Amino acid sequence: MEKKILIAEDVLADETFLAWYFSKSEEKARSWEKWVAAHPEHQLLVDEAVKFLGQVQREEKDLPDTRVEAATERLKTAIAMQQDPAPVVSIKRSRNRWWIPVAAAIVIVCAGITIWKLSGEQKQTYSTAYGQLDKHVLPDSSEVILNANSSIRLGSNWEPEANREVWLNGEAFFKVHKTHTKNRFIVHTNTMDIIVTGTQFNVVNRDDESSVLLTEGSVVVKEHNGHEVYMKPGDFVRIENNIAAKTSVNEEKVLAWKEAKLVFENTSINEVAKIISRHYGVKVSLADPIIAEKKISGMMPNDNLDVLIEALETTGEFKITKNNNEIVISSP
């Protein structure tokens, strides 16, 4: 059964994650590691769950069944009194004794999540599934559009005098609201921080790409080694080998995803295959090396996989076979 992981609480409630974290049940731990390896887009949520568990003080001794059951009932009663309850995890007994302390830990974690929410310290996370685009208004009235298979996590402090911070995995377009205090808006990625006050820009933070396109205002791209690159509208900065460099780019091509479109400029079919796989979460393979050398140009729809496949086949250059979550591109 496919896991439904949308927020950190989903990770914390996952049995295989807990088995991995507490070093219990090697079979379940391996299952979790395999799932994480196949879904790198959720790494930010996994890291958040690990960090949260690290802050939870756990008892190492085995808890009696009566204490676990009593804690569960108290938790259910407390949650029922809240408007935004945390998930209640049903605890089932097993002859395998490792599950007892882990089940107790679930109760502690769920209670912690409830307290975390009520205290206002929760870091809000927004995410999109494969093939989905979504728009959100942030606490400061800034706007963000998330591309498919992407997520942002918000910092906990959005007071007028504080830095407004978000952490990005995937791709997003930001329209930052300028505040009267001119406090900074900072986008954190794996390779850089983008520092702004009020502006519009596109950011990509994926395993094979890290870039910023500025469309309005000004930003500072700060590499993790401290080096800074100042950008003006129209500038495009790509991070390669941990070094930021300005390069020319077709702005329409970079931002086409916002309109659910793809713009190709003499693009190799090998790159097209990567784009499809990343956007829709399907495996795409090429029938032979000759196919990889072919290139295409033009604009195609990107809001429906079947329509995109049909558009590619209309070029007369390819034959595409789709079987569940696997696509094979070959010569016609």
- Decide if 167 contacts 152 (C-beta within 8 A): yes
Lowest mean pLDDT among 84-93, 127-136, 177-186: 84-93
Q: In order of start, what are the domains of the chain with their CATH numbers? A: 8-118 (no CATH), 125-253 (2.60.120.1440), 260-330 (3.55.50.30)
Q: What is the mean pLDDT of the segment spanning 67-90?
A: 49
Q: What is the mean pLDDT of the segment spanning 194-206?
A: 92
Single pTM value for the model = 0.64
Q: Where are the beta strands (DSSP E) in 248-325?
A: 261-268, 283-286, 295-301, 319-323
Q: What is the mean pLDDT of the segment spanning 195-214?
A: 92
Arithmetic mean of pLDDT over the chain: 80
Sign of the dihedral defined by the CA atoms of residues 189, 192, 195, 199, in that order: negative
- Decide if 312 contacts 240 (C-beta within 8 A): no
Out of 25-34, 79-88, 292-301, the most confident range is: 292-301
Burial class (CB in 10 A: 0-12, 13-18, 19+), 80: exposed
pLDDT in tens, 109-156: 555 554 444 444 456 899 999 999 999 999 999 999 999 999 999 998
Closest CA to 256 of 173, 137, 162: 173
Residue 280: the pLDDT is 92
Half-sphere exposure of residue 51: CA atoms within 13 angstroms, side-chain side: 9
CA-CA-CA-CA torsion for 245, 247, 249, 254, nearest 10 degrees? 0
Distance CA 332, CA 330 (A): 6
Q: Per-residue confidence at 18, pLDDT binned at 50, 70, 90?
A: confident
User: By percentage, how much of the chain surpasses pLDDT 70?
Assistant: 77
- Decide if 90 contacts 76 (C-beta within 8 A): no
